[in-house]
Structure 1
Amino acid sequence: MTDIPTLGFLRDQLRRARQLHGLTQEELSKLINYSASSVSAMETGQNQLSADYLARFDKVLETGGLFIGMLGLIRLHAEPDWFRPWGEIEREAVALRWYDPAVIPGLLQTEAYARAMLRAGPFLTDDEIEKRVLARLARQEVLARDEPPQLVVVLDEQALRRQVGDRATMREQLEHLRSMADRPNVQVRIVPAETPWYIGLNGPFVLARLADGTEVAHLDNQLRGHTVDSPNDLAALGRQWETVAGEALPRRQSARLIEEVAKSWT
């Protein structure tokens, strides 16, 4: 079985490669158009490693794509085995309808929010947490591609008010959520806190539609998530989606509510 490199190993190799080429951090920074402080932060783990940084590093040092390939290998193995089938569906989807009563969806999370969520869970080492943060941020690339999926998100207001990380993390997260909601392919709607109990509070779910019209859903529980594709289950989730969407505020009112709650985290 091939050993999977850790992020710590990747950072060590970046530093070694730079030194073997006789470059200081400042000299490298000028070649790849990053600040010297960013180069230092990438090597020490203060900043999240980005594909753009590694691609420029590979090009300047003529490594043949070694480091971007290493990052891809880490990403591939960062998510739990049970998540990978859904990850493929998420990348191929042309439309996603996402409901969550408790947290901001992964595709819209900031790095700090994602890290704080993962730190709250059990049994993950620091390196495992960083790899999962890396993989989660990589998933968000689907929203930046030339033809991104249409993403409609319905959240319960509690997802905006339940603290994850510190107050600065929450403020940043809600500002990011508000910014993403301005994109033409992203819609975020909020079920207000005064809404009486409704069926969506039973748990989160995602409905995906592929280019050929196929529909698939994803459900999470305390142990793992699983993919659902039976017609009866999809029909039931479709009805639940109509219910939760019907409870949500319109798009503009939702945006104002997100802004108001973001200010409360100052």
Structure 2
Amino acid sequence: MTHVNVLDPGASPLDYYGYELRRYREAAGLTQKQLGAVINYTGSLVGQIETARKLPTQEFSERTDAALGTDGLLTRLLGLVLRSQLPAWFQQVAELEARASGVYVFHPQLVHGLLQSEAYARAVLAAVDDSDLDNRAAARMARQRILKDAKSPVLWAVLGEAVLHQEIGGKRVMREQLQHLLSFEKHRRVNIQILPFEVGVHAGLMGAFNLYRFPTDPALVYTEDYETGHPTANPDAVESRSLRYDHLQATALSVSDSATLIRHVMEERYGEQLSLGGRPLA
């Protein structure tokens, strides 16, 4: 007799997703392998998602909803599932990002999570802890879906030039990351500015921070340390950081000149030279 893992749908959003997936699959009279064949995934992956060992993706959810006639249930659950994989203290930030009409970020050393390529994100997340890396990376990448929504927030990112030179994940990963930044060059709602080294003293020397603005609610400031985040709607804090951000934007390169610098660093520092065999030498 085949052993079937007992799922507790109340244990977590991921467990609930798996419980509903199994319930609808069994109601349709399909095995995991059969469902996998219908949606073009392996039966093993279906089983891992059902038992809350693997995170579902947008594509998996949409295909499964269509195959099982769930009226979009799994796709609707996906956002909750992915958000639950973020650190508890960061889940509120993901909510802020999703609700905001404007997101204004400053980071002197690191590409912001909303702008990270998957390989770069994995390298950052694995810096001190590589456990459950697939799920953690998937959760981070899922945050970026807000940039593809019709009602996506306006995103302004001022990044220190050091971000372009700090080699995270190796040259290939950095080239991919800088190319990813350039992919937003024509995006109407994403604006990336680089704060060049030559500026010297600037308004962001105290470190990274984010500002979130909303259609009706008060604006928020968000900062974080190694273990936790600190959102505040204190009017004095919001006014102070807003003024700092204005100065950073005014001091940074224009969006166009920033793209030129990113492209230059990408080619000069991380450009690939091919050998006769077609393999990159650098």
- Give the TM-score range, shorter chain: 0.7 to 0.9
When normalised by structure 2's length, the TM-score is 0.76
**Is 1:4 equivalent to 2:8 in the alignment?**
no
Residue 240 (structure 2) aligns with: 236
Q: 1:42 and 1:166, CA in 2 relative to 1: closer, same or farther beyond 3 A?
A: farther
Q: CA deviation at 1:178?
A: 0.8
CA contact (8 A) 1:215 1:234 kept: yes
**Is 1:257 equivalent to 2:238 in the alignment?**
no
CA contact (8 A) 2:203 2:248 kept: yes
Residue 227 (structure 1) aligns with: 231
CA distance in 2, matches of 1:55, 1:234: 40
Aligned-pair Cα RMSD in Å: 3.1
Q: Equivalences for 1:174-253 in 2 at 5 Å? A: 174-212=178-216, 214-253=218-257
CA distance in 2, matches of 1:95, 1:178: 20
Q: 1:65 and 1:20, CA in 2 relative to 1: closer, same or farther beyond 3 A?
A: farther
Structure 2 counterpart SS, 1:136: helix
Residue 109 (structure 1) aligns with: 116
CA contact (8 A) 2:83 2:94 kept: no
Q: 1:41 and 1:257, CA in 2 relative to 1: closer, same or farther beyond 3 A?
A: farther
Q: CA deviation at 1:149?
A: 1.1
Please tell me the residue identity of whatever aligns with 1:207: L
Q: CA deviation at 1:148?
A: 1.5
Gaps spanning 5+ residues in structure 2: where? Answer: 1-7, 272-282
Residue 23 (structure 1) aligns with: 34
Q: CA deviation at 1:233?
A: 0.8
| 1:236-262 Cα shifts (integer Å, max 9, x gaps) | 111211222122011111010111112
Residue 58 (structure 1) aligns with: 65
Residue 174 (structure 2) aligns with: 170
CA distance in 2, matches of 1:91, 1:133: 18
Gaps spanning 5+ residues in structure 1: where? Answer: none
2:134 to 127, 130, 135: 130
Number of residue equivalences: 248
CA distance in 2, matches of 1:90, 1:61: 32
| 1:26-55 Cα shifts (integer Å, max 9, x gaps) | x43xxx4xxx6xx3599399x985212221
Structure 2 counterpart SS, 1:133: helix
Q: CA deviation at 1:169?
A: 1.2
CA distance in 2, matches of 1:206, 1:151: 11
CA contact (8 A) 2:14 2:55 kept: no
| 1:106-127 Cα shifts (integer Å, max 9, x gaps) | 11111111111100034x522x
CA contact (8 A) 1:4 1:73 kept: no
Fraction of identical pairs, as percent: 29
| 1:107-160 Cα shifts (integer Å, max 9, x gaps) | 1111111111100034x522xx33322222221111111122111110001111
Please tell me the residue identity of whatever aligns with 1:85: Q
Residue 276 (structure 2) aligns with: none
Q: 1:118 and 1:249, CA in 2 relative to 1: closer, same or farther beyond 3 A?
A: same
Residue 100 (structure 1) aligns with: 107
Residue 157 (structure 1) aligns with: 161
When normalised by structure 1's length, the TM-score is 0.80
Structure 1 counterpart SS, 2:198: coil
CA contact (8 A) 1:100 1:154 kept: yes
Structure 1 counterpart SS, 2:158: strand
Structure 2 counterpart SS, 1:96: strand
